[in-house]
Amino acid sequence: EADIYQTPRYLVIGTGKKITLECSQTMGHDKMYWYQQDPGMELHLIHYSYGVNSTEKGDLSSESTVSRIRTEHFPLTLESARPSHTSQYLCASSDPRLPRGNEQFFGPGTRLTVL
């Protein structure tokens, strides 16, 4: 069973607030990812990291930012939340040294609602 955690699971906030979505994994994986998924829609990669101090933007443009100061921790921040940010945010990690090198282990997600 994968050990990847996301907090909070659900968040309802008002427009303009700064928020940070937490993601932690205890598997020692170097690679971590953030996806955004609207209900019934596909996942879109918004950020990824290959290791400490490495962050890249994903395929879908996002106003969020990420940091990777520690291997196990990959938080996502929205400086000023807007209703258009309402979505589910999924964090994942992977380890190319594993037999299925590109298998990604997902957290339970954070469902964000911005009023």
Q: Which residues bind other proteins (CB under 8 A)?
A: 2, 31, 33, 35, 40-43, 45, 48, 50, 59, 88, 90-92, 94, 96, 100-109, 111
Closer residue to other proteins in complex, CB, 59/79: 59
Find the helix or strand (DSSP H, E) in which 3 lies.
none
Closer residue to other proteins in complex, CB, 83/96: 96
User: Residue 73 in contact with residue 91, Cβ under 8 Å?
Assistant: no
Closer residue to other proteins in complex, CB, 59/63: 59
Closer residue to other proteins in complex, CB, 79/98: 98
Shortest reach from residue 75's CB to other proteins, in Å:
17
The residue type at 20: T
Query: How many alpha carbons lie under 13 Å from residue 111 in its C-beta half-sphere?
Result: 3
Shortest reach from residue 35's CB to other proteins, in Å:
8
Shortest reach from residue 40's CB to other proteins, in Å:
8
Q: Spell 54-83 as b/e; 16+ CB within 10 A means b.
A: ebeebeeebebebebeebbebbbebeebee
Distance CA 47, CA 64 (A): 9
